[in-house]
Amino acid sequence: MTGHSPARSSGLAEAIFRTLKCLAAGRRYTASMRAGRTKTTSFSLDAATLSNLRALASCRHKGNVSALLAEIASREAKFAAAEAYLQKYGVPPLDDEAVERIETEWRGGEPPKRSRRRAA
């Protein structure tokens, strides 16, 4: 929301995948793929991305990469709807500093301390 697309930045994507792998170890999700209601498609992915997807799928969907991709697509649609809502009502996007604080918290680190002024 800061002008660039952080979810599509390869460095951030790798960090997100690593974080999700850790989180997924303690949290298992299941999703059912309905036979006959799916379409077959193909994607061109680099080896690292495919490996990350398989690892996430093994933790969250018993190895079903299609179920993982369906979950990701569903979440992305909700994210796009939330962005549209915020934009409609004039809520400003997060600045880079706010994004960094959130990502630091997600990684389990301490956010940088803000300096405080004494009240007069």
The string of pLDDT tens digits covering residues 1-45 is: 444 444 444 555 665 665 555 555 554 444 455 556 888 888 899
Answer yes or no: are the C-beta atoms of 63 and 54 closer than 8 Å. yes
User: What one-character-per-residue DSSP string does 42-81 give?
Assistant: -----HHHHHHHHHHHHHHSTT-HHHHHHHHHHHHHHHHH
**Dihedral sign for Cα atoms in the order 106, 112, 113, 114:** negative
Give the model confidence (pLDDT) of 84-115 as tens digits.
999 999 998 889 998 898 888 888 877 666 66
Bigger pLDDT: 120 vs 49: 49
